[in-house]
Amino acid sequence: MSVIRRVPSILTGLVNNNNNRNICFKSSEPSIPSSTLSSSLTHGIHVFYCPDVVGIVAKLSECIASKGGNILSADVFVPQNKHVFYSRSDFVFDPVKWPRIQMEEDFLKLSQTFNAMRSVVRVPSLDPKYKIAVLASKQDHCLVDLLHGWQDGRFPVDISCVISNHYRASNTHVIRFLERHGIPYHYLDTTKENKRESEILELVQNTDFLVLARYMQILSGNFLRSYGNDVINIHHGLLPSFKGGSPSKQAFDAGVKLIGATSHFVTEELDSGPIIEQMVERVSHRDNLQSFVQKSENLEKQCLSKAIRSYCELRVLPYEEKKTVVF
């Protein structure tokens, strides 16, 4: 994705005392009124990942400013001794002066100049919404929260379908909701011998990413390679603790005092993919299993919701083999 910004008269930067360059730039100019933004200017986002050399920020700013755009905020991260550069910029622009197709070409030139590994530009009001499919099992809490969040406009996505290995009757809340909004529900009964992965692949064709909303089946490496796009999962606990089934009961029986939820990308290694978001909450001896589970489920809903929003807002970039940069 790409972003453009007019160089402000003053830049303020926050720099770590170690050798990492972790900088947040904000324009000193007055913020643009929402009325002006909605009538003439459009919001864009650009993320950039390339080898670190001198002058990248200057060229990004020049690209945006030369087309009349203005950067509202820019985050830069250069890890110590890694010789790579990460950035995410929010900017506004006039689509009449800077057409979407031309913007793509301009950022492509920058990408080629700096041999970028990733350069993505997104204009939320002009670009299609992300198309996703949701996989779920018996537990409803994450699925219901995601559906209500989608209905409320919290996620810039279109849900193509919900797939589950659990049967839901027509009078259940989930099925009534899906029918009301025209979202197909596919029940695929799975066994240890047949995870129905070929059928799932057929159903999720042309989606941008998948969300596992407490889907209690392990996706094989063949499935992940065949699908080819990102898969986001939610897991109770701070990984790698309490893997597998009944994680809440595992944690409760272990007498933990701090519970959590982790949202991560799915890889072939169980619950070991790059982490997107984590949340925690304290528990105590006063909690019984019911209150413990309720707190855990609330964390899972919040953590998955935040991870999806971060992903859609281009705040998540791959970092090394198993890490992420989250702006």
- Residues forming the active site: 271
Axis-axis angle for helices 100-113, 56-65 (nearest 10): 160
User: Kind of pairing, strands 230-236 and 258-265?
Assistant: antiparallel
- Rg of the chain over all Cα atoms, to the nearest angstrom: 22
With CA atoms as reference, report the closest residue to 283 among 321, 251, 310, 309: 251
Q: How far apart are the C-alpha atoms of 84 and 80, rounded to whole Å?
A: 9
Q: How far apart are the C-alpha atoms of 271 and 322, rounded to whole Å?
A: 12
Question: 């509202």: which residue's tokens?
Answer: 72
The CA distances from residue 98 to 42, 122, 222, 303, 307, in Å, are 10, 14, 42, 36, 31
User: Kind of pairing, strands 316-319 and 323-326?
Assistant: antiparallel
Q: What residue spans of 29-129 are helical by DSSP H?
A: 34-40, 56-65, 100-113
With CA atoms as reference, report the closest residue to 261 among 166, 142, 162: 142
With CA atoms as reference, report the closest residue to 88 among 308, 318, 315, 275: 315
